[in-house]
A and B are shown apart, each in its own frame.
Chain A
Amino acid sequence: MSDKNNGSVLVSLKNIKKWFPVHLGFFANMLARGEPEFVRAVDGVSFEITRGEVFGLVGESGSGKTTVGRLALRLLEPTEGQVFFDNIDISTHSHEELRRLRARMQVIFQDPMASLNPRMSVSDAIAHPLQIHYPEKVKEKDEIVRAVLEDVGLAPPHIFMNKYPHQLSGGQRQRVVIARALVTEPELILADEPIAMADVSVRSLLLDLMNRLKDEHNLTYLFITHDLATAKYICDRIGVMYLGKLVEVSSLTAVYSKPLHPYTQALMAAVPIPDPNRRRSQALPRGEIPSPINPPSGCRFHPRCPIAKAECSEVDPEMRELEPGHFVACHYAEQFL
């Protein structure tokens, strides 16, 4: 492990798309006319994640953030576009080649109970990736499991090694999932809503743990969350998604202090702040996120956008770099500079 590469690009997505076909059922299909329909879950997304950073993907449900996360690790086959991991194009890899790379990328999902096999003890669950990726290390597995348990704050390890998931608290379970992700010494961790199920008083501990592990193990995170406050606490850069597209990408400070896309602005204004003196005064966009089956033409936010003009319903805005490192996909974002 070394940090010699810090600052280089670890993951790069190039115009990635994922369209899911809509299954109508037998009779509806017979009756349907014209083109088959698709859910355009991800519709042309490009971004890069630099080694050592926490890149946050935020957005509402249905924005496609989870699908992008899965595409970035090729847990899903892209409909179009390329994914590079450490400059290797993994979008064309065979499953055998992918498996060898998988030791270098791990996942933490939202629900630890669903991620852990109820019949596997903590120590077996954590050692499982070793059996798959590094069978030669299996004889040292107890030592490795002990070390990684201590790393994630489950100490002393012998108390936890022979326990089963149902004997652990929610926070402890998520720590086991994190430990299992660490055991192959990955470079990239996809964390999809990793604290959303944890109790409120436990969340800050998990976030701090993830922060510490990142430094100690030279990790890079793709951190997916719907919670802008959590993203602000842990991320270095943020990508905001709306209806299958990225609308804004920038450093943390720029996105939070000077959001340039009207959607990001609305999102920021809507987050409730735990301070009764700062109740929201700004107006909200009307309506809800539309269906990704027939997304609005042009800019997908235009039907709800307070500054939309005629052009917005016709031309899909390109991502433009309006400030160094601050990208936004809006025709009229200059006014917010």
Chain B
Amino acid sequence: MMTNDILYSIQGLNVEYETRLGAVKAVDNVSFDIQKGEVLGLVGESGCGKSTLGKALLRMIEPPGRITSGKLLFDDLDLMTLSSSRMREYRGSRIGMIFQDPMTSLNPVQNIADHLTEVMLTHGMYSGKEESREHAETIIDRMGIRPERIDDYPHQLSGGMRQRVMIALALALNADLIIADEATTSLDVIVEAQFLDLLRELRDEFDLTIILITHNIGVVAELADRVAVMYAGRIAELGTVYDAFEQPLHPYSQGLMQSVPNIRLEEGDTLYKMAGEPPNLLQPPTGCRFHPRCPQAMDICSRTNPNFRTSHADHYVSCWLYEEHTDEKERQSGAIS
């Protein structure tokens, strides 16, 4: 991959939350690249660190959490080196974020027009209220909200419309990257599908790059180009959506893909039942964090964390099964039949 194809390169990112019981490493040495124009699905269960990772990309981690180390190279500029006021300029204008519950992101006493014009005026896009209001009308129209509703307040909008306003806010300043954190989770299926359609269109129209953070692998299969599977603060696997769904390498991804009910299931089909539950990150398992639940765990898995490396082409995995130097004897002695 040439460097100019990469919009955002995350290198060795660590995020910790300080708690009474000790530090929780929510993101543990995560490195990956986000390519220009792609939809990257970031999937994992609750508590795996996917939302923390999403917020870290905008440097929006709030105390008691903090980014302890790592580089955030956005368009070759390390965002970690920016002052907080410069960082604020980046938020919204270059990187926008949409959360699960739009009601908590929107101000209940401001109407849609206020929200949009405030953003545009703050970032100096327009100097006059008239111009920015006109632009705001064009944007919400593009989002599928009738322009005459621009004076409506958040409580007058449906859930789907509120999420459209959130996208409008992100696009008002022509952001390059949108991070959507469980943005469709509170929506009903039909509205969710409408929203995914909109994202798909906007991606093409505005050359957007989208990070889709979700626990719903169906949503990822529907929209993503590449998928990163996160487990207990680390990325277990990263590959194209076809790699991830058709030939998942990591035993966790394999289990996840086969344990989710699917409307294509036939009568009598059974789902894979993964042993155990996700670990508590206060005391994460040693070595590979998935090893206590892994059906293929070997001795080495409980001792040393595997590297995150390419298995073939652009398919990355962090698993001893794919490390070339795995001792063959060890594999056999530890394998569970």
Whether the pair A229, B273 counts as a contact (CB closer than 8 A) is no
Find chain A residues with CB under 8 A from B189 CB: 60, 226, 228, 267, 270-272
CB-contact partner of A271 in B218, B220, B259, under 8 A? B218
Q: Which A245-279 residues have a C-beta within 8 angstroms of B?
A: 252-253, 256, 266-279
Find chain B residues with CB under 8 A from A294 CB: none
Find chain B residues with CB under 8 A from A278 CB: 221, 264
Find chain A residues with CB under 8 A from B158 CB: 288
Whether the pair A200, B277 counts as a contact (CB closer than 8 A) is no
Whether the pair A276, B221 counts as a contact (CB closer than 8 A) is yes
Q: Which B308-332 residues have a C-beta within 8 angstroms of A?
A: none
Could you tell me the distance between the alpha carbons of A9 and B241 in the complex, rounded to whole angstroms? Answer: 47
Q: Residue B271 at the A interface, CB < 8 A? A: yes
Could you tell me the distance between the alpha carbons of A229 and B263 in the complex, rounded to whole angstroms? Answer: 4
**Closest A residue by C-beta to B159:** A288
Q: Residue B219 at the A interface, CB < 8 A? A: yes
Could you tell me the distance between the alpha carbons of A268 and B217 in the complex, rounded to whole angstroms? Answer: 17
Q: Residue A201 at the B interface, CB < 8 A? A: yes
Stretch at the interface among A180-188, A204-212, A329-337: A204-212
Q: Which A264-307 residues have a C-beta within 8 angstroms of B?
A: 266-280, 284-285, 288-289
Could you tell me the distance between the alpha carbons of A112 and B267 in the complex, rounded to whole angstroms? Answer: 29
Whether the pair B222, A280 counts as a contact (CB closer than 8 A) is yes
Whether the pair B221, A201 counts as a contact (CB closer than 8 A) is no
Whether the pair B267, A272 counts as a contact (CB closer than 8 A) is no
Q: Residue A87 at the B interface, CB < 8 A? A: no
Whether the pair B221, A273 counts as a contact (CB closer than 8 A) is yes
Q: Which A131-172 residues have a C-beta within 8 angstroms of B?
A: 169-172
Find chain A residues with CB under 8 A from B271 CB: 204, 207-208, 233
**Nearest Cβ distance between residue A274 and chain B, in whole angstroms?**
5
Whether the pair A274, B45 counts as a contact (CB closer than 8 A) is no
**Nearest Cβ distance between residue A125 and chain B, in whole angstroms?**
20
Whether the pair B218, A273 counts as a contact (CB closer than 8 A) is yes
Find chain B residues with CB under 8 A from A201 CB: 45, 255-256, 259, 274, 277-278
Q: Which A39-68 residues have a C-beta within 8 angstroms of B?
A: 60-61
Q: Residue B247 at the A interface, CB < 8 A? A: no
Q: Residue A128 at the B interface, CB < 8 A? A: no
Find chain B residues with CB under 8 A from A289 CB: 188
Find chain A residues with CB under 8 A from B277 CB: 169-172, 199, 201-202
Whether the pair B264, A267 counts as a contact (CB closer than 8 A) is no
Whether the pair B219, A229 counts as a contact (CB closer than 8 A) is no
Chain A: interface size category: 35 or more
**Closest A residue by C-beta to B274:** A201
**Nearest Cβ distance between residue B100 and chain A, in whole angstroms?**
14
Whether the pair A200, B260 counts as a contact (CB closer than 8 A) is yes
Find chain B residues with CB under 8 A from A228 CB: 189, 263
A272 and B193 contact, Cβ closer than 8 Å, known pairs A200-B260, A208-B273, A232-B261:
yes
**Nearest Cβ distance between residue A210 and chain B, in whole angstroms?**
13
Whether the pair B260, A275 counts as a contact (CB closer than 8 A) is no
Q: Which B198-233 residues have a C-beta within 8 angstroms of A?
A: 215-222, 224
Find chain A residues with CB under 8 A from B61 CB: none
Find chain B residues with CB under 8 A from A275 CB: 221, 245, 262, 264
Could you tell me the distance between the alpha carbons of A285 and B193 in the complex, rounded to whole angstroms? Answer: 10
Q: Residue A230 at the B interface, CB < 8 A? A: yes
Could you tell me the distance between the alpha carbons of A274 and B245 in the complex, rounded to whole angstroms? Answer: 8
Q: Which B43-93 residues have a C-beta within 8 angstroms of A?
A: 45-47
Whether the pair B221, A200 counts as a contact (CB closer than 8 A) is no
Q: Residue B102 at the A interface, CB < 8 A? A: no
Whether the pair B274, A205 counts as a contact (CB closer than 8 A) is yes
Could you tell me the distance between the alpha carbons of A279 and B245 in the complex, rounded to whole angstroms? Answer: 13
A279 and B222 contact, Cβ closer than 8 Å, known pairs A171-B277, A200-B45, A256-B263:
yes
**Nearest Cβ distance between residue B239 and chain A, in whole angstroms?**
11
**Nearest Cβ distance between residue A177 and chain B, in whole angstroms?**
16
Whether the pair A270, B272 counts as a contact (CB closer than 8 A) is no
Whether the pair A274, B260 counts as a contact (CB closer than 8 A) is yes
CB-contact partner of B273 in A61, A199, A205, A252, under 8 A? A205
Could you tell me the distance between the alpha carbons of A227 and B271 in the complex, rounded to whole angstroms? Answer: 16
**Closest B residue by C-beta to A291:** B158
**Closest B residue by C-beta to A197:** B46
A279 and B193 contact, Cβ closer than 8 Å, known pairs A205-B273, A232-B265, A256-B263:
no
Whether the pair A273, B190 counts as a contact (CB closer than 8 A) is no
Whether the pair B216, A273 counts as a contact (CB closer than 8 A) is no
**Closest B residue by C-beta to A201:** B274
Q: Residue A203 at the B interface, CB < 8 A? A: yes
Q: Residue B119 at the A interface, CB < 8 A? A: no
Q: Which A5-26 residues have a C-beta within 8 angstroms of B?
A: none
**Closest B residue by C-beta to A268:** B263
CB-contact partner of A204 in B193, B221, B272, under 8 A? B272
Find chain A residues with CB under 8 A from B47 CB: 199
CB-contact partner of B278 in A199, A205, A276, A285, under 8 A? A199
**Nearest Cβ distance between residue A13 and chain B, in whole angstroms?**
24
Could you tell me the distance between the alpha carbons of A204 and B191 in the complex, rounded to whole angstroms? Answer: 26
Q: Residue B96 at the A interface, CB < 8 A? A: no
**Closest B residue by C-beta to A172:** B277
Whether the pair A229, B265 counts as a contact (CB closer than 8 A) is yes
Could you tell me the distance between the alpha carbons of A226 and B221 in the complex, rounded to whole angstroms? Answer: 20
Taking A270-B193, A279-B222, A284-B194 as known contacts, 4 extra A-B pairs with beta carbons closer than 8 A to each other, sorted by chain A number, are A203-B261, A233-B271, A273-B218, A288-B161
* Chain B residues close to A by CB (< 8 Å): 45-47, 158-161, 188-194, 196-197, 215-222, 224, 241-242, 245, 255-257, 259-265, 267, 270-274, 277-278
15 contacts between A and B (CB under 8 A): A199-B47, A199-B277, A201-B274, A201-B278, A203-B260, A204-B259, A204-B274, A208-B270, A228-B189, A229-B262, A272-B222, A284-B190, A288-B161, A288-B188, A289-B188
* Chain A residues close to B by CB (< 8 Å): 60-61, 169-172, 199-205, 207-208, 226-230, 232-233, 252-253, 256, 266-280, 284-285, 288-289
* Closest A-B pairs by Cβ, 5 of them: A272-B218, A60-B188, A204-B271, A270-B193, A229-B261
